[in-house]
Structure 1
Amino acid sequence: MGEQMDFDTLFKFINELSDHIDLDAILRDAEALCICAGENGAACIPPGTPPSLPVDNGSLYPQPNDVL
């Protein structure tokens, strides 16, 4: 197998990625996947996983039809 990364190397790698990830797109995709998974997806979440932050309209991001 490949070389194993130590914590410091992995941490540096992740920090360097932070300037290259489109966070808004990732979170929109993650939200869409959660909506599609529905109750079956919720049943797959391991016990003890911290809850998500509550949102008023059920969506973390404005949708195309939302009025701001």
Structure 2
Amino acid sequence: MDLELEKTDIQNLPVMEMKNKRLSEDELKKLVNYFAGEEECYQPQPYTKETYEHVISRIEKKEGFYAAFYYWMDQ
């Protein structure tokens, strides 16, 4: 079912100004735990010299992700 939408005439919108706040390590951990729970958000990858050489080779050959200037053009 299509609904008829009325055109709204917006004059002035309220503006809200916010200030940056540095998070302490404890505050950041609480936020991550709140949103992620027990789920592991990041797992470090043990990169080796061979891993980096492989990535450099793919970049030089313009393979896969590195083939297009814009990554979304290659998908």
Is the radius of gyration larger for structure 1 or structure 2? 2
The alignment's TM-score, normalised by the length of structure 1, stands at 0.33
Return the TM-score normalized by structure 2: 0.30
Higher helix share: 1
Greater RCO between the two (CA within 8 Å, min separation 6)?
Answer: 1
